[in-house]
């Protein structure tokens, strides 16, 4: 469990329009002290003793980034804090992760302040193995559900998958079906999104092929030998607009599966300088 804030230069900016700009963390936590106290009290008094041990929470800290970038659900809670601070409310982000033991579920939950629909402060966040406990935080108004939008869990902000593009989803689903079971889990794709731009700008390989419908697909491939304890390949799949020779991003993903990489080495092998910089979908 912990609190997180967004820094900009030497200041901590939570919501500039509302004057929530702080010189340091002491000022920040003093301002939100009441809200944090109420939410932490609820957490400690309602969670089960057989849930994940608090001493192990640090092991799940990395899940927060994936949760905030690609939540499964977002709930708007206007009631819990309304008697504490006038007009106070927060959003609840919920995401289910792949469990190591495949027996108990693994969730991560964050109670956050949003500024322009972007998390700028996390009141608290925590992992949980309890369906019942997590259900207590599904309250208020549900404003987002990944299942409703049929967006694959491996989508990365800025690609066509996040926009619900059927063509991109079909290609993505085909890729998922042939991935090795031991390959990087979809839930972890967001952790490697930082590699997408470098793959596009400095690919090791570029392959162009035509599908049965006449679409021209261009795949950018780059190897990252220092990633994920043994190295990975990152692959970016785009669709080419023939008149302009530009590319719209369909989806991207990391993989340790050499056979999967080989599936994208087909068609015409291009030199990097022959391809115009990829444009977002």
Neighbours of 162 (CB within 10 A): 17
pLDDT at 271: 67
pLDDT at 128: 96
pLDDT at 281: 43
How far is CA 260 from each of CA 82, 166, 184, 236, rounded to the nearest angstrom? 52, 22, 12, 13
Which stretches of the chain score pLDDT less than 70? Answer: 1-9, 101-102, 271-281
pLDDT at 254: 97
Residue 236 pairs in a beta bridge with 220, 252
pLDDT at 174: 94
Q: Which of 2, 4, 5, 38 is nearest to 21 (CA)?
A: 5
221 three-class SS = strand
Give the separation between CA 28 and CA 34, rounded to whole angstroms: 12
Both tokens assigned to 276: 């115009």
Strand order in the sheet with 11-15: 7-8, 11-15, 20-22
How wide is the angle at C-alpha 107 spanned by C-alphas 101 and 109, nearest 5°? 155
pLDDT at 277: 46
Both tokens assigned to 141: 């108004």
pLDDT at 279: 44
Kindly report the pTM of this predicted structure: 0.59
- Strand ranges (DSSP E) for the chain? 4-5, 7-8, 11-15, 20-22, 73-77, 90-97, 106-115, 118-128, 141-145, 205-210, 216-224, 232-241, 246-255, 268-270
Q: Could you tell me where the DSSP H helices lie in the chain?
A: 25-31, 33-46, 63-69, 131-135, 146-149, 166-178, 196-201, 258-263
């Amino acid at each position: 469990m912990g609190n997180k804030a967004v820094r900009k230069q030497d200041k901590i900016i939570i919501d500039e329009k509302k004057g929530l700009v702080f010189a340091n963390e002491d000022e920040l936590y003093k301002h939100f002290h009441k809200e944090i106290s109420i939410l932490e009290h609820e957490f400690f008094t309602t969670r089960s003793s057989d849930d994940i041990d608090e001493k192990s929470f640090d092991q799940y800290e990395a899940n927060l980034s994936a949760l905030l970038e690609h939540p499964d659900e977002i709930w708007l809670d206007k009631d819990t804090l309304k008697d504490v601070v006038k007009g106070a409310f927060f959003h609840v982000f919920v995401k289910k992760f792949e469990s190591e033991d495949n027996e108990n579920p693994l969730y991560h939950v964050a109670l956050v302040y949003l500024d322009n629909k972007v998390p700028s402060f996390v009141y608290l966040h925590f992992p949980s193995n309890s369906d019942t406990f997590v259900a207590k935080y599904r309250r208020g108004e549900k404003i987002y559900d990944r299942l409703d939008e049929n967006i694959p869990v491996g989508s990365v902000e800025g690609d066509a998958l996040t926009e619900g593009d059927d063509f991109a989803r079909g290609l993505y689903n085909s890729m998922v079906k042939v991935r090795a079971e031991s390959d990087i889990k979809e839930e972890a794709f967001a952790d490697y999104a930082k590699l997408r731009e470098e793959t596009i700008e400095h690919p090791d390989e570029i392959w162009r092929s035509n599908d049965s419908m006449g679409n021209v697909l261009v795949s950018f491939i780059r190897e990252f030998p220092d990633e994920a304890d043994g190295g990975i390949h990152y692959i970016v799949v785009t669709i080419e607009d023939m008149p302009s020779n530009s590319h719209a991003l369909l989806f991207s993903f990391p993989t340790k599966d050499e056979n999967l990489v080989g599936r994208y080495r087909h068609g015409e092998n291009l030199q990097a300088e022959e391809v115009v910089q990829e444009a977002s979908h």
